[in-house]
Amino acid sequence: MSPGGVDDAGAEAPGIRPAFSSLLEDSAEDLYESAPCGYLSTLMDGTIAKINATLLGWLGLSREEVVGRKRFSDLLTVGGRLYHETHFAPLLRMQGHLGGVALEMRTAAGPRLPVLVTSTLKRGADGEPLLIRTTVFDATDRRAYEQELLRARRAAEEARQQAEADRAQLREALAVLQRSLLPATLPDLPGVETAGYYHTASPMELGGDFYDLFPLDDTRTAFFLGDVCGKGPQAASLTSLTRYTLRAAMIQDADPVDDLRILNRALMERYTGDDPRYCTAVAGVFERVGDTLNVRLASGGHPPALVLRADGTAEYLSTRGGMLVGVLPTAQFVEASTVLRPGDTLLLYTDGLTEARVGPGRELYGYDALRSFAAARAPAGSRALVDALTALLRDFGEGLDDDTALLAVGVPATP
């Protein structure tokens, strides 16, 4: 109500005036003593010079016990006193004002009184600090609420740390499982240079790419590389079945098309009904004859292998027409062969490489770019080629969002 409003009300309704006058009789002294908050004034050394009845009531102390006898910090808990000395007092000196500080006061009866304290420095005419005026608000309910918030924050922090630990554990378990789906190292073969690389798109997800390479006898070596549909545990289980089926099939029968057919049957039998699962794969065998490798391979729906020649060219070895493995009982797989001479290298890869997004337009990296990249490095040994591609994958950065497997087989150039 505005002051003008009071007058109007008084003029028109005489009955209100007596009540209003009694309000006006609320003296400054009574306002100070019985205010709904605590007041105190201290000397610069903290000695209490004046304190109101409200605060004395809260603390259960008499004026005689306090005035001239206690310092402000004596009213605080020990922890609050430490805080007062290290933060409150210096800040007040520097700023002349300090507000909303949460402290606890000790009451004569025992329980602590949570309060919010605001202090102002009163300076003399010469600018020297004279005394400190302080208001004290009962913050019992607010502090209880804040304690709840703090508790909740601590609980959230603990949960976060636990979650982080769980994630680390899961990451470790996934890494172990992922490694179990790949050869720990590639075998050392006389006259042959091999190299493999596996990029996992996310450490929190098992990849669906796989490769392997293992000797069949003194001159022949089997190899395969592929990509199962999906990611995660389901894909890992499919990868495991695929890898061990192919491995067993190739040890038994070195015909790559037959091997993919066996895999096709195994996948069809294992994943029936509404859970069809499939993969793309290249499987092959190379045989060492003198200083050359005769390579036979078959593809089921997989991107074509790339052959780098000693003369600095790079061409795809077409296996067009090979179908996905695990979809049709009568799937067709396409065979191709080549001969690797000293300085030649065969590269198998998964589509993470060719389907990476590059440039500002986020275009597909593609087969042409891969061939150019390889040709620019040909002739290149298997290790050098895989290292160059690993660097390329790293350069893709966020453009590479899929797992990628690389496997290269070559004949070292004649010294």
Partner 1 sequence: MSILRRNNVRVTGATTGRPVVLVHGFGCDQNMWRLVEPLLAEDHPLVLFDYVGAGRSDLSAWQEDRYSSLDGYARDLVEVCEELDLRDAVVVGHSVSAMTGVLAAAAAPGRIGALVMVCPSPRYIDEDDYRGGFSAEDIDELLESLESNYLGWSAAMAPVIMGNPDRPELGEELTNSFCATDPDMARVFARTTFLSDSRKDLETVTVPTLILECEQDVIAPREVGAYVHAAVKGSELVTLDAVGHCPQLSAPEATASAIRSFLSSGAR
Edge-first strand order for the sheet with 193-199 is: 193-199, 404-410, 345-349, 305-308, 314-317
Quick one: which segment of 87-95, 320-328, 338-346, 398-406 binds partner 1 (CB under 8 A)?
Answer: 87-95
Rule CB under 8 A: say whether 144 interacts with partner 1: no
Which of 9, 10, 46, 341 binds partner 1 (CB under 8 A)? It is: 46
For partner 1, which is the closer residue by CB, 17 or 69? 69
Cβ–Cβ contacts within 10 Å for residue 71, how many?
A: 16
Rule CB under 8 A: say whether 82 interacts with partner 1: yes
Q: Which residues contact 319 (CB under 8 A, 6 or more apart)?
A: 282, 297, 298, 299, 302, 304, 305, 334, 335, 336
**Cα distance between residue 47 and residue 137, in whole Å:** 20
By rule CB under 8 A, what string of x and - marks binding of each residue 198-237 to partner 1?
----------------------------------------
Comparing CA positions, the residue from 328, 285, 345, 302 lying closest to residue 208 is 302
Q: Is 318 left (phi over 0), alpha (psi -120 to 50) or beta?
A: beta
Q: What is the largest CA-CA distance in the chain?
A: 124
Rule CB under 8 A: say whether 358 interacts with partner 1: no
Cβ–Cβ contacts within 10 Å for residue 138, how many?
A: 18
Quick one: which segment of 77-85, 190-198, 238-246, 400-408 binds partner 1 (CB under 8 A)?
Answer: 77-85
Rule CB under 8 A: say whether 87 interacts with partner 1: yes
Which of 81, 199, 243, 296 binds partner 1 (CB under 8 A)? It is: 81
**Cα distance between residue 67 and residue 47, in whole Å:** 8
Which of 45, 126, 311, 398 binds partner 1 (CB under 8 A)? It is: 45
For residue 147, the minimal CB distance to partner 1 (Å) is: 9
Q: Which residues contact 101 (CB under 8 A, 6 or more apart)?
A: 87, 88, 116, 117, 118
Total residues contacting partner 1 by CB under 8 A comes to 30
For partner 1, which is the closer residue by CB, 99 or 215? 99
Rule CB under 8 A: say whether 111 interacts with partner 1: no
Task: Tell me which residues touch partner 1 (CB under 8 A).
Answer: 44-46, 71, 73, 77-83, 85-87, 89-91, 93-95, 98-99, 101-104, 143, 146, 150
